[in-house]
Protein backbone atom coordinates (compact mmCIF):
# COMPACT_ATOMS: atom_id res chain seq x y z
CA UNK A 1 0.00 0.00 0.00
CA UNK A 2 1.34 3.36 -0.98
CA UNK A 3 2.18 5.58 1.99
CA UNK A 4 0.43 8.52 0.39
CA UNK A 5 -2.66 6.62 -0.59
CA UNK A 6 -5.95 7.62 0.86
CA UNK A 7 -6.37 4.10 2.18
CA UNK A 8 -3.19 4.40 4.22
CA UNK A 9 -4.13 7.81 5.51
CA UNK A 10 -7.61 6.74 6.47
CA UNK A 11 -6.29 3.71 8.31
CA UNK A 12 -3.61 5.74 10.03
CA UNK A 13 -6.10 8.31 11.27
CA UNK A 14 -8.48 5.62 12.32
CA UNK A 15 -5.82 3.76 14.32
CA UNK A 16 -4.46 6.97 15.78
CA UNK A 17 -7.83 8.10 17.06
CA UNK A 18 -8.69 4.66 18.34
CA UNK A 19 -5.26 4.48 20.05
CA UNK A 20 -5.77 7.79 21.81
CA UNK A 21 -9.23 6.74 22.94
CA UNK A 22 -8.12 3.32 24.18
CA UNK A 23 -5.05 4.70 25.95
CA UNK A 24 -6.97 7.39 27.75
CA UNK A 25 -9.67 4.93 28.65
CA UNK A 26 -7.09 2.49 30.00
CA UNK A 27 -5.35 5.23 31.96
CA UNK A 28 -8.61 6.37 33.44
CA UNK A 29 -9.57 2.82 34.32
CA UNK A 30 -6.20 2.14 35.93
CA UNK A 31 -6.12 5.29 38.01
CA UNK A 32 -9.71 5.19 39.19
CA UNK A 33 -9.32 1.56 40.14
CA UNK A 34 -6.07 2.24 41.93
CA UNK A 35 -7.56 5.18 43.77
CA UNK A 36 -10.67 3.30 44.78
CA UNK A 37 -8.70 0.27 45.97
CA UNK A 38 -6.40 2.45 48.04
CA UNK A 39 -9.32 4.39 49.49
CA UNK A 40 -10.91 1.11 50.35
CA UNK A 41 -7.82 0.02 52.26
CA UNK A 42 -7.66 3.35 54.07
CA UNK A 43 -11.32 3.20 55.01
CA UNK A 44 -10.96 -0.26 56.42
CA UNK A 45 -7.92 0.83 58.41
CA UNK A 46 -9.76 3.86 59.73
CA UNK A 47 -12.83 1.94 60.84
CA UNK A 48 -10.70 -0.68 62.51
CA UNK A 49 -8.59 1.98 64.21
CA UNK A 50 -11.68 3.72 65.52
CA UNK A 51 -12.88 0.43 66.88
CA UNK A 52 -9.59 -0.35 68.53
CA UNK A 53 -9.30 3.19 69.83
CA UNK A 54 -12.65 2.89 71.46
CA UNK A 55 -11.53 -0.43 72.82
CA UNK A 56 -8.17 0.91 73.97
CA UNK A 57 -9.74 3.76 75.84
CA UNK A 58 -12.38 1.49 77.28
CA UNK A 59 -11.93 -0.37 80.52
CA UNK A 60 -10.87 -3.30 78.40
CA UNK A 61 -7.55 -1.60 77.90
CA UNK A 62 -6.63 -2.62 81.31
CA UNK A 63 -5.79 -5.95 79.83
CA UNK A 64 -2.21 -5.00 79.50
CA UNK A 65 -1.23 -8.54 78.78
CA UNK A 66 -2.21 -10.81 76.04
CA UNK A 67 -2.49 -9.76 72.46
CA UNK A 68 -4.87 -7.40 70.81
CA UNK A 69 -6.15 -10.27 68.79
CA UNK A 70 -7.33 -11.97 71.88
CA UNK A 71 -8.72 -8.80 73.33
CA UNK A 72 -10.61 -8.02 70.13
CA UNK A 73 -11.87 -11.50 69.85
CA UNK A 74 -13.10 -11.69 73.34
CA UNK A 75 -14.54 -8.19 73.52
CA UNK A 76 -15.96 -7.85 70.04
CA UNK A 77 -15.74 -11.16 68.38
CA UNK A 78 -13.55 -9.60 65.67
CA UNK A 79 -10.70 -11.20 63.80
CA UNK A 80 -8.84 -8.61 61.77
CA UNK A 81 -7.07 -10.83 59.24
CA UNK A 82 -4.05 -9.44 57.48
CA UNK A 83 -3.96 -6.32 59.62
CA UNK A 84 -1.04 -5.40 61.79
CA UNK A 85 -1.95 -3.51 64.90
CA UNK A 86 0.19 -1.91 67.58
CA UNK A 87 -0.68 0.43 70.36
CA UNK A 88 1.75 2.99 71.66
CA UNK A 89 1.51 5.19 74.71
CA UNK A 90 1.64 8.97 74.40
CA UNK A 91 5.43 9.05 74.51
CA UNK A 92 5.78 6.49 71.72
CA UNK A 93 6.57 3.39 73.69
CA UNK A 94 5.11 0.32 72.19
CA UNK A 95 2.46 -1.34 74.21
CA UNK A 96 0.41 -4.18 72.87
CA UNK A 97 0.60 -5.39 69.33
CA UNK A 98 -1.08 -8.01 67.27
CA UNK A 99 0.27 -11.55 67.03
CA UNK A 100 1.18 -11.43 63.41
CA UNK A 101 3.72 -8.71 64.06
CA UNK A 102 5.73 -11.14 66.22
CA UNK A 103 8.90 -9.33 67.14
CA UNK A 104 8.70 -6.72 64.42
CA UNK A 105 7.60 -3.21 65.12
CA UNK A 106 5.60 -1.04 62.82
CA UNK A 107 7.76 1.97 62.00
CA UNK A 108 6.47 5.30 63.02
CA UNK A 109 7.74 8.37 61.27
CA UNK A 110 8.51 11.63 62.96
CA UNK A 111 5.87 13.35 60.96
CA UNK A 112 3.24 10.86 62.04
CA UNK A 113 4.26 11.25 65.65
CA UNK A 114 4.09 15.03 65.37
CA UNK A 115 0.64 14.80 63.79
CA UNK A 116 -0.47 12.37 66.45
CA UNK A 117 0.59 14.71 69.22
CA UNK A 118 -1.68 17.30 67.63
CA UNK A 119 -4.45 14.72 67.49
CA UNK A 120 -4.28 14.26 63.70
CA UNK A 121 -4.51 11.03 61.75
CA UNK A 122 -1.66 10.16 59.36
CA UNK A 123 -1.68 7.68 56.50
CA UNK A 124 1.67 6.53 55.14
CA UNK A 125 2.92 3.95 52.72
CA UNK A 126 6.07 2.24 53.82
CA UNK A 127 8.16 0.09 51.58
CA UNK A 128 11.00 -0.68 53.96
CA UNK A 129 9.56 -3.78 55.58
CA UNK A 130 9.63 -6.95 53.52
CA UNK A 131 8.87 -6.97 49.78
CA UNK A 132 5.44 -5.56 49.81
CA UNK A 133 4.49 -2.03 50.68
CA UNK A 134 2.58 -1.44 53.88
CA UNK A 135 -0.15 1.07 54.40
CA UNK A 136 0.25 2.38 57.91
CA UNK A 137 -2.28 4.48 59.73
CA UNK A 138 -1.31 6.37 62.83
CA UNK A 139 -4.39 7.14 64.89
CA UNK A 140 -4.11 9.13 68.12
CA UNK A 141 -6.62 8.31 70.86
CA UNK A 142 -7.65 11.51 72.52
CA UNK A 143 -9.06 11.51 76.04
CA UNK A 144 -9.93 14.75 77.75
CA UNK A 145 -8.09 16.58 75.00
CA UNK A 146 -4.95 14.62 75.73
CA UNK A 147 -3.41 12.08 73.49
CA UNK A 148 -3.33 9.07 75.68
CA UNK A 149 -2.44 6.38 73.22
CA UNK A 150 -1.51 6.01 69.60
CA UNK A 151 -3.01 3.16 67.65
CA UNK A 152 -1.12 2.11 64.54
CA UNK A 153 -2.76 -0.20 62.09
CA UNK A 154 -1.07 -1.42 58.93
CA UNK A 155 -2.30 -3.43 56.05
CA UNK A 156 -0.31 -5.00 53.25
CA UNK A 157 -0.97 -3.47 49.82
CA UNK A 158 0.02 -6.69 48.10
CA UNK A 159 -3.51 -7.52 46.96
CA UNK A 160 -4.04 -4.02 45.61
CA UNK A 161 -0.72 -3.97 43.81
CA UNK A 162 -1.33 -7.41 42.42
CA UNK A 163 -4.69 -6.43 41.04
CA UNK A 164 -3.31 -3.24 39.55
CA UNK A 165 -0.34 -5.06 38.02
CA UNK A 166 -2.63 -7.59 36.43
CA UNK A 167 -4.84 -4.87 35.04
CA UNK A 168 -1.79 -3.08 33.70
CA UNK A 169 -0.61 -6.26 32.02
CA UNK A 170 -3.99 -6.86 30.47
CA UNK A 171 -4.16 -3.34 29.17
CA UNK A 172 -0.60 -3.30 27.80
CA UNK A 173 -1.33 -6.43 25.80
CA UNK A 174 -4.90 -5.85 24.76
CA UNK A 175 -4.62 -2.19 23.64
CA UNK A 176 -1.87 -2.71 21.04
CA UNK A 177 -3.39 -5.93 19.77
CA UNK A 178 -6.75 -4.21 19.45
CA UNK A 179 -5.03 -1.45 17.52
CA UNK A 180 -3.35 -3.94 15.19
CA UNK A 181 -6.64 -5.67 14.55
CA UNK A 182 -8.33 -2.32 14.09
CA UNK A 183 -5.72 -1.24 11.55
CA UNK A 184 -6.32 -4.43 9.56
CA UNK A 185 -10.04 -3.89 9.76
CA UNK A 186 -9.61 -0.24 8.88
CA UNK A 187 -7.56 -1.14 5.85
CA UNK A 188 -10.17 -3.58 4.75
CA UNK A 189 -12.94 -1.06 5.22
CA UNK A 190 -10.98 1.66 3.44
CA UNK A 191 -10.20 -0.74 0.64
CA UNK A 192 -13.84 -1.68 0.32
CA UNK A 193 -14.98 1.91 0.43
CA UNK A 194 -12.36 3.07 -2.03
CA UNK A 195 -12.61 0.24 -4.54
CA UNK A 196 -15.22 2.08 -6.61
CA UNK A 197 -12.84 5.02 -6.68
CA UNK A 198 -10.22 2.76 -8.26
CA UNK A 199 -12.80 1.68 -10.79
CA UNK A 200 -13.59 5.29 -11.57
CA UNK A 201 -9.91 6.01 -11.98
CA UNK A 202 -9.49 3.16 -14.41
CA UNK A 203 -12.50 4.06 -16.52
CA UNK A 204 -11.63 7.73 -16.46
CA UNK A 205 -8.11 6.88 -17.60
CA UNK A 206 -9.47 5.02 -20.61
CA UNK A 207 -11.71 7.85 -21.75
CA UNK A 208 -10.20 10.06 -24.42
CA UNK A 209 -11.74 12.41 -26.93
CA UNK A 210 -12.26 9.37 -29.14
CA UNK A 211 -14.56 7.39 -26.86
CA UNK A 212 -16.48 9.97 -24.93
CA UNK A 213 -19.58 7.85 -25.24
CA UNK A 214 -18.19 5.60 -22.48
CA UNK A 215 -19.66 5.91 -19.02
CA UNK A 216 -18.64 4.69 -15.56
CA UNK A 217 -20.97 2.00 -14.31
CA UNK A 218 -22.89 3.37 -11.35
CA UNK A 219 -23.17 1.10 -8.29
CA UNK A 220 -26.59 -0.09 -7.23
CA UNK A 221 -26.42 1.61 -3.86
CA UNK A 222 -27.00 5.33 -3.77
CA UNK A 223 -24.12 6.71 -1.73
CA UNK A 224 -21.40 9.34 -1.98
CA UNK A 225 -19.51 7.25 -4.52
CA UNK A 226 -22.53 6.84 -6.74
CA UNK A 227 -23.07 10.58 -6.58
CA UNK A 228 -19.46 11.06 -7.59
CA UNK A 229 -19.91 8.65 -10.48
CA UNK A 230 -23.08 10.42 -11.55
CA UNK A 231 -21.27 13.73 -11.47
CA UNK A 232 -18.44 12.22 -13.47
CA UNK A 233 -20.82 10.80 -16.04
CA UNK A 234 -22.61 14.10 -16.35
CA UNK A 235 -19.31 15.81 -16.90
CA UNK A 236 -18.35 13.29 -19.58
CA UNK A 237 -21.72 13.86 -21.23
CA UNK A 238 -21.12 17.56 -21.31
CA UNK A 239 -17.63 17.03 -22.72
CA UNK A 240 -19.04 14.62 -25.26
CA UNK A 241 -21.60 17.15 -26.32
CA UNK A 242 -19.15 19.97 -26.68
CA UNK A 243 -16.73 17.75 -28.58
CA UNK A 244 -19.54 16.75 -30.87
CA UNK A 245 -20.50 20.37 -31.34
CA UNK A 246 -16.91 21.20 -32.13
CA UNK A 247 -16.70 18.40 -34.67
CA UNK A 248 -20.01 19.42 -36.18
CA UNK A 249 -18.84 22.99 -36.24
CA UNK A 250 -15.56 22.28 -38.01
CA UNK A 251 -17.26 19.98 -40.49
CA UNK A 252 -19.92 22.62 -41.14
CA UNK A 253 -17.31 25.34 -41.43
CA UNK A 254 -15.26 23.34 -43.91
CA UNK A 255 -18.36 22.49 -45.91
CA UNK A 256 -19.39 26.11 -45.95
CA UNK A 257 -15.98 27.07 -47.29
CA UNK A 258 -15.71 24.14 -49.68
CA UNK A 259 -18.66 25.20 -51.80
CA UNK A 260 -17.22 28.58 -52.83
CA UNK A 261 -13.83 26.90 -53.27
CA UNK A 262 -15.35 24.30 -55.59
CA UNK A 263 -16.94 27.04 -57.64
CA UNK A 264 -13.74 29.07 -57.82
CA UNK A 265 -11.61 26.11 -58.77
CA UNK A 266 -14.08 24.65 -61.24
CA UNK A 267 -14.88 27.87 -63.01
CA UNK A 268 -11.24 28.85 -63.35
CA UNK A 269 -10.18 25.39 -64.54
CA UNK A 270 -12.94 25.24 -67.16
CA UNK A 271 -12.06 28.77 -68.29
CA UNK A 272 -8.39 27.90 -68.70
CA UNK A 273 -9.04 24.88 -70.88
CA UNK A 274 -9.07 27.06 -73.99
CA UNK A 275 -8.98 30.61 -75.28
CA UNK A 276 -12.04 32.62 -74.32
CA UNK A 277 -13.48 35.94 -75.26
CA UNK A 278 -12.81 38.78 -72.88
CA UNK A 279 -16.52 38.81 -72.08
CA UNK A 280 -16.35 35.25 -70.84
CA UNK A 281 -13.30 36.03 -68.75
CA UNK A 282 -15.04 39.01 -67.25
CA UNK A 283 -18.11 36.98 -66.41
CA UNK A 284 -16.00 34.35 -64.69
CA UNK A 285 -14.01 36.91 -62.76
CA UNK A 286 -17.22 38.56 -61.55
CA UNK A 287 -18.57 35.23 -60.43
CA UNK A 288 -15.27 34.45 -58.73
CA UNK A 289 -15.36 37.79 -56.96
CA UNK A 290 -18.81 36.96 -55.61
CA UNK A 291 -17.51 33.72 -54.16
CA UNK A 292 -14.44 35.41 -52.73
CA UNK A 293 -16.69 37.98 -51.05
CA UNK A 294 -18.84 35.23 -49.65
CA UNK A 295 -15.79 33.46 -48.26
CA UNK A 296 -14.50 36.69 -46.76
CA UNK A 297 -17.85 37.22 -45.10
CA UNK A 298 -17.78 33.72 -43.61
CA UNK A 299 -14.21 34.08 -42.42
CA UNK A 300 -14.90 37.50 -40.94
CA UNK A 301 -18.04 36.30 -39.14
CA UNK A 302 -16.15 33.30 -37.81
CA UNK A 303 -13.33 35.47 -36.60
CA UNK A 304 -15.75 37.82 -34.88
CA UNK A 305 -17.53 34.97 -33.19
CA UNK A 306 -14.33 33.38 -31.99
CA UNK A 307 -13.15 36.75 -30.73
CA UNK A 308 -16.46 37.10 -28.93
CA UNK A 309 -15.95 33.64 -27.45
CA UNK A 310 -12.59 34.56 -26.01
CA UNK A 311 -13.92 37.92 -24.85
CA UNK A 312 -11.70 39.92 -27.16
CA UNK A 313 -14.56 42.04 -28.44
CA UNK A 314 -15.52 44.73 -26.00
CA UNK A 315 -18.93 46.27 -26.37
CA UNK A 316 -18.92 50.01 -26.61
CA UNK A 317 -21.82 50.50 -24.24
CA UNK A 318 -23.53 53.82 -23.85
CA UNK A 319 -27.02 55.18 -23.54
CA UNK A 320 -28.70 54.37 -26.86
CA UNK A 321 -32.14 55.13 -28.21
CA UNK A 322 -33.42 51.72 -29.28
CA UNK A 323 -36.51 53.13 -30.98
CA UNK A 324 -34.38 55.35 -33.15
CA UNK A 325 -32.03 52.53 -34.14
CA UNK A 326 -34.94 50.28 -35.03
CA UNK A 327 -36.63 52.94 -37.14
CA UNK A 328 -33.42 53.57 -39.05
CA UNK A 329 -32.88 49.89 -39.69
CA UNK A 330 -36.48 49.44 -40.86
CA UNK A 331 -36.08 52.27 -43.38
CA UNK A 332 -32.81 50.75 -44.52
CA UNK A 333 -34.28 47.25 -44.94
CA UNK A 334 -37.41 48.40 -46.72
CA UNK A 335 -35.57 48.43 -50.03
CA UNK A 336 -34.58 44.79 -49.65
CA UNK A 337 -38.10 43.87 -48.56
CA UNK A 338 -39.56 45.58 -51.64
CA UNK A 339 -37.47 43.49 -54.02
CA UNK A 340 -39.33 40.44 -52.63
CA UNK A 341 -42.63 42.32 -52.45
CA UNK A 342 -42.73 41.97 -48.68
CA UNK A 343 -44.51 44.30 -46.33
CA UNK A 344 -42.14 45.49 -43.60
CA UNK A 345 -43.68 47.37 -40.68
CA UNK A 346 -42.89 48.24 -37.08
CA UNK A 347 -44.97 49.10 -34.04
CA UNK A 348 -43.55 51.11 -31.16
CA UNK A 349 -45.72 50.95 -28.10
CA UNK A 350 -43.71 53.56 -26.30
CA UNK A 351 -41.97 56.77 -27.02
CA UNK A 352 -38.22 56.49 -27.15
CA UNK A 353 -36.89 53.48 -25.32
CA UNK A 354 -33.36 53.89 -24.07
CA UNK A 355 -31.09 51.08 -23.08
CA UNK A 356 -27.45 50.81 -22.12
CA UNK A 357 -25.79 49.09 -25.04
CA UNK A 358 -23.58 49.10 -28.12
CA UNK A 359 -25.43 50.96 -30.90
CA UNK A 360 -23.39 49.33 -33.67
CA UNK A 361 -24.05 45.79 -32.43
CA UNK A 362 -27.72 46.44 -31.77
CA UNK A 363 -28.09 47.71 -35.32
CA UNK A 364 -26.38 44.54 -36.55
CA UNK A 365 -28.79 42.50 -34.44
CA UNK A 366 -31.86 44.14 -36.00
CA UNK A 367 -30.44 43.90 -39.52
CA UNK A 368 -29.66 40.21 -39.09
CA UNK A 369 -33.08 39.39 -37.70
CA UNK A 370 -34.96 41.32 -40.38
CA UNK A 371 -32.73 39.95 -43.15
CA UNK A 372 -33.38 36.49 -41.85
CA UNK A 373 -37.12 37.14 -41.98
CA UNK A 374 -36.90 38.45 -45.52
CA UNK A 375 -34.84 35.45 -46.62
CA UNK A 376 -37.33 32.88 -45.42
CA UNK A 377 -40.55 34.60 -46.38
CA UNK A 378 -42.13 33.98 -49.76
CA UNK A 379 -43.10 36.89 -51.97
CA UNK A 380 -46.15 38.80 -50.81
CA UNK A 381 -45.63 37.97 -47.15
CA UNK A 382 -44.98 40.41 -44.37
CA UNK A 383 -42.51 41.07 -41.61
CA UNK A 384 -43.59 42.92 -38.51
CA UNK A 385 -41.50 44.26 -35.68
CA UNK A 386 -42.89 45.11 -32.26
CA UNK A 387 -40.93 47.08 -29.71
CA UNK A 388 -42.38 47.26 -26.22
CA UNK A 389 -41.49 47.47 -22.56
CA UNK A 390 -42.18 44.43 -20.49
CA UNK A 391 -42.89 44.51 -16.78
CA UNK A 392 -42.31 41.47 -14.65
CA UNK A 393 -45.27 40.34 -12.57
CA UNK A 394 -45.29 42.34 -9.31
CA UNK A 395 -44.07 40.50 -6.25
CA UNK A 396 -46.54 40.60 -3.38
CA UNK A 397 -45.37 42.27 -0.21
CA UNK A 398 -43.03 44.63 -1.95
CA UNK A 399 -44.13 48.03 -3.11
CA UNK A 400 -44.95 47.93 -6.80
CA UNK A 401 -42.38 50.39 -7.93
CA UNK A 402 -39.38 48.54 -6.46
CA UNK A 403 -39.81 45.50 -8.65
CA UNK A 404 -40.82 47.54 -11.67
CA UNK A 405 -37.67 49.59 -11.66
CA UNK A 406 -35.46 46.56 -11.12
CA UNK A 407 -36.66 44.01 -13.64
CA UNK A 408 -37.78 46.03 -16.61
CA UNK A 409 -37.12 44.57 -20.01
CA UNK A 410 -37.58 45.78 -23.51
CA UNK A 411 -39.08 43.14 -25.73
CA UNK A 412 -38.44 43.11 -29.46
CA UNK A 413 -40.45 40.72 -31.59
CA UNK A 414 -39.56 40.18 -35.23
CA UNK A 415 -42.25 38.04 -36.83
CA UNK A 416 -42.57 36.90 -40.40
CA UNK A 417 -45.13 34.94 -42.39
CA UNK A 418 -42.42 32.72 -43.82
CA UNK A 419 -41.78 29.01 -44.09
CA UNK A 420 -41.34 28.50 -40.34
CA UNK A 421 -38.99 26.23 -38.47
CA UNK A 422 -39.70 22.67 -37.42
CA UNK A 423 -39.86 22.05 -33.65
CA UNK A 424 -36.79 19.84 -33.61
CA UNK A 425 -34.73 22.50 -35.38
CA UNK A 426 -35.82 25.46 -33.27
CA UNK A 427 -33.25 24.77 -30.61
CA UNK A 428 -30.42 24.47 -33.07
CA UNK A 429 -30.97 27.46 -35.31
CA UNK A 430 -28.70 29.57 -33.14
CA UNK A 431 -25.88 27.07 -33.60
CA UNK A 432 -23.13 28.11 -35.90
CA UNK A 433 -23.63 27.04 -39.51
CA UNK A 434 -26.83 25.27 -38.66
CA UNK A 435 -29.19 25.47 -41.57
CA UNK A 436 -32.59 23.94 -41.70
CA UNK A 437 -32.33 23.39 -45.41
CA UNK A 438 -28.73 23.51 -46.56
CA UNK A 439 -29.51 23.92 -50.23
CA UNK A 440 -32.14 26.59 -49.90
CA UNK A 441 -30.08 28.67 -47.51
CA UNK A 442 -27.00 28.96 -49.63
CA UNK A 443 -29.05 30.22 -52.48
CA UNK A 444 -30.25 32.97 -50.18
CA UNK A 445 -26.68 33.90 -49.43
CA UNK A 446 -25.28 34.59 -46.01
CA UNK A 447 -22.69 32.76 -44.04
CA UNK A 448 -24.93 30.61 -41.84
CA UNK A 449 -23.67 32.54 -38.86
CA UNK A 450 -26.24 35.35 -38.70
CA UNK A 451 -28.34 33.97 -35.87
CA UNK A 452 -25.25 32.91 -33.92
CA UNK A 453 -24.09 36.48 -34.09
CA UNK A 454 -27.56 37.68 -32.96
CA UNK A 455 -27.38 35.35 -30.00
CA UNK A 456 -23.95 36.62 -29.07
CA UNK A 457 -25.02 40.27 -29.29
CA UNK A 458 -28.13 39.67 -27.16
CA UNK A 459 -26.20 37.74 -24.55
CA UNK A 460 -23.48 40.35 -24.43
CA UNK A 461 -26.28 42.75 -23.43
CA UNK A 462 -27.43 40.37 -20.67
CA UNK A 463 -30.55 39.68 -22.68
CA UNK A 464 -32.09 36.57 -24.12
CA UNK A 465 -33.25 35.47 -27.54
CA UNK A 466 -35.73 32.81 -28.50
CA UNK A 467 -37.95 31.70 -31.31
CA UNK A 468 -41.55 30.65 -31.67
CA UNK A 469 -42.45 29.13 -34.96
CA UNK A 470 -44.88 26.99 -36.83
CA UNK A 471 -44.09 25.34 -40.14
CA UNK A 472 -45.59 27.12 -43.15
CA UNK A 473 -47.07 29.82 -40.91
CA UNK A 474 -44.07 31.87 -39.89
CA UNK A 475 -41.56 32.51 -37.15
CA UNK A 476 -41.25 35.07 -34.39
CA UNK A 477 -37.87 35.89 -32.96
CA UNK A 478 -38.21 37.34 -29.48
CA UNK A 479 -35.41 39.37 -27.98
CA UNK A 480 -35.44 40.62 -24.39
CA UNK A 481 -32.94 43.24 -23.34
CA UNK A 482 -32.71 44.76 -19.86
CA UNK A 483 -33.75 48.40 -19.73
CA UNK A 484 -31.16 50.82 -18.49
CA UNK A 485 -31.64 52.13 -14.95
CA UNK A 486 -34.15 55.01 -14.72
CA UNK A 487 -31.55 57.70 -14.12
CA UNK A 488 -30.17 57.01 -17.59
CA UNK A 489 -33.63 57.11 -19.08
CA UNK A 490 -33.55 60.82 -19.87
Partner 1 sequence: MRILVIEDEKKVANFIKKGLEEEHYAVDNAYDGETGLYMAEVNDYDLIVLDLMIPKIDGLEVLKRIRGNRNNVPILVLTARDTVGDIVRGLDAGCDDYLTKPFEFLEFLARIRALLRRERIDKEPILKIADLTLSLVTHKVMRGGKEIELTGKEYSLLEYFMRNPGKVLTRTMISEHVWDYHFDSMTNVVDVYVNYVRRKIDKGFEPKLIHTIRGVGYILSADKSA
Which residues form the interface with partner 1 (CB under 8 A)? 251, 254-255, 258-259, 261-267, 269-270, 273-274, 287, 291, 437-440, 442-443
Between 36 and 251, CB nearer to partner 1: 251
Identify the sign of the CA torsion 276, 278, 279, 280. positive
* 151 contacts 52 by C-beta, under 8 angstroms: yes
Residue 213 beta carbon to partner 1: minimum distance, rounded to whole angstroms: 16
Integer Cα distance of 136 and 154 in angstroms: 4
Minimum distance from residue 471 beta carbon to partner 1 (Å): 16
Nearer to partner 1, 102 or 273 (CB): 273
Shortest reach from residue 204's CB to partner 1, in Å: 28
Q: Select 6 or 270, whichever has its Cβ closest to partner 1.
A: 270
Q: Are 38 and 160 in contact (CB under 8 A)?
A: yes
Q: Output the smallest distance, CB 331 to partner 1, in A.
A: 32
Query: DSSP 3-state assignment of 355?
Result: strand
Nearest 10 degrees: CA dihedral of 41, 45, 48, 50? -130
Residue environment code for 123-153, b if the CB has 16+ CB neighbours within 10 A, otherwise e: ebebeebeeebbbbbbbbbeeeeebebbbbb
8 A C-beta contact, residue 132 and residue 156: yes
**Cβ nearer to partner 1, comparing 181 with 268:** 268
Say how far residue 371 (Cα) sits from the centre of its chain: 49
C-beta closer to partner 1: residue 273 or 335: 273
Least distance (Å) from partner 1 to the CB of residue 252? 10
| Nearest approach, Cβ of residue 445 and partner 1 (Å) | 12
Minimum CB separation of residue 250 from partner 1 in Å reads 12
CB-nearer residue toward partner 1: 149 or 294: 294
- Grouping H, G, I as helix, E, B as strand and the rest as coil, residue 239 is helix
Closer to partner 1 by Cβ: residue 51 or 263: 263
252 within 8 A of 434, measured Cβ to Cβ? yes
Sheet holding 122-126, edge to edge: 94-97, 83-89, 146-156, 134-143, 122-126
Instruction: Find the shortest distance in angstroms from Cβ 269 to partner 1.
Output: 4
Contact 335, 465 (CB under 8 A): no
- SS3 state at 458: helix
Nearer to partner 1, 183 or 441 (CB): 441
Cβ atoms of 326 and 362 closer than 8 Å: no
Amino acid sequence: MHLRSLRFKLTLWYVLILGILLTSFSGFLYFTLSKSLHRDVDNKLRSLAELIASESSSPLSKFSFGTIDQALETSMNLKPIGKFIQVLDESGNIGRKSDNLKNVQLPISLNALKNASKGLITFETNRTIGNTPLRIMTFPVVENSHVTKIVQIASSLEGVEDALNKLFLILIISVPSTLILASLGGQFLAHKALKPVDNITQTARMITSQNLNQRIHPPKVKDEISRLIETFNEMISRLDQSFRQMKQFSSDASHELKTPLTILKGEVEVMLRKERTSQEYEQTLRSNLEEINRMSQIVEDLLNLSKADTGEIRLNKEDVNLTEILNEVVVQMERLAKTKKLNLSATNHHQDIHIFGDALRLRELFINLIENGIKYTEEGGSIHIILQKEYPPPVTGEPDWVEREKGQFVKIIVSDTGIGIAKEDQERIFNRFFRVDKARSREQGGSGLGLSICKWIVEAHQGEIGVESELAKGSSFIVRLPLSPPELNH
